[in-house]
Structure formats: C-alpha cells, structure tokens
Amino acid sequence: MIMDGESQDENPGAGTLEGTTSNVAPQDNQNAFEQNVVYMRQKSQIPKVFGVLMMIYGVVLGLLGILAVFNTGTVIDDYEQVGITISGLQNAWFYLSAIGAGLLVNGAVAYGGFETFNYKRRGVMIGLGAVGLGLVFSLGDSIILGDITQQFLDMEGDGELDGFGALVSGVGVVMSIFCSAICGLLVAIPLLASGNDLE
C-alpha cells in the first residue's frame, strides 16, 4: 500500500505548474478576455435640431395668431365699410380660420417639435397632422379671398376683370398645396433621415 508521503517523494514535481509564459497582446478588436467590444451608436442630432425649429415656429406664429384672432372683427368691418358683403358663413369662417390656423395648428406644431426633440416618433406625426389641418384652413381662406376680390372688382365696374376672383382662388389653392408639401417634407425629415432613432 502506497502512503501519501511516499507518492510525493517519488514524484517531486507533482505540485508545480509547468509551461512557458507569453506576452502576446490581445488583438485590436478584442479585449483582455478575448470578447468582442460593443460600441453604442450615438443618436442622430437631426430630431433635436428640427424639434427646436418646430417649437420656435409654433410659438412665434402662435403669438401672432393670438393677435390675428383679436383683429378678425376689425378686418370684417373694413370689408363691409367699402361695400363688400360678408355672409354669415364667411364671417364664421374668418373666426374659425383665425383660431384654428393661428392657435390650434401652431400649438400642435410646437408640441410636435417638443416630442420630436425628445426622439418621439409621434412628434413627427403630430407635425404632419398640423400641416394637413393648416392646408384645410388655407384652402378655405383662398376661396373666400377670391370671392371678396371679385366683389371688389364688380364694384369698380371693370368688366374686363370678370372671373378674376376665381383666378385668385385658383392661385391661392395651388400655392397652399405647394407650401404645405414643403412644410410636410421639412417636418418629416427627422423620420426620413434618422427614423431608427425615434421611439
């Protein structure tokens, strides 16, 4: 029978480590434990920039919209004093457009800008919805402006400009659609350029 003490005497190197040391540096793409290094991708700054621009636009035009609401009655009185007839529907539209386009649309743009600034996808959607609502108000304004222009020309008695009011309305509609398309594209840039960063 072999005792523990005897086995240690017969094999004196049993309690030591054998081998050679190496000073090989880890590869560039690995750390000391030979694991891949993962780098966090920084979020794009585009939503922040366009969010700030939307907030500035919404606040400034919203303040001007408040002035427009208070000035609406004066504008209607000025039209009536020169002999232009403003119907009840047109009168209501003037106030609805001033409140809707001046306050509601611009407030939605400002809030959408705040959400976009915080990388929220719904901020872009709110901004696009505000642009669409603004287009509706702008189309209505163009139609009413054409009617008012035609009434004024009829009062002047110049028959050569008959139908000019319809032309004014048509140009207004085209310009409204064009401007709304540009605004919609600008609002959508954070979604188009860095949609993966939006939550």
| Measured torsion, CA atoms of residues 115, 199, 46, 130, in degrees rounded to the nearest 10 | -40
Residue 40 burial (C-beta neighbours within 10 Å; 0-12, 13-18, 19+): exposed
Specify the pLDDT at position 17.
56
Specify the pLDDT at position 151.
87
Q: How many residues are there in the chain?
A: 199
Measured CA to CA, the distance from residue 71 to residue 130 in angstroms comes to 23
Q: What is the pLDDT along the chain (199 residues), one digit of tens a residue?
A: 445 555 555 555 555 656 566 555 555 555 555 567 666 678 889 999 999 999 999 999 999 999 999 999 999 999 999 888 889 899 999 999 999 999 999 999 999 999 999 999 999 999 999 999 999 999 999 999 999 988 888 887 766 677 888 999 999 999 999 999 999 999 999 989 887 878 8
Measured CA to CA, the distance from residue 60 to residue 73 in angstroms comes to 22
Contact between 192 and 174 (Cβ < 8 Å): no
Specify the pLDDT at position 60.
96
Tokens, residue 185: 């594209």
Nearest residue to 73 via CA among 56, 98, 54, 49: 98
Count the Cβ atoms, other than its own, within 10 Å of residue 176. Answer: 19
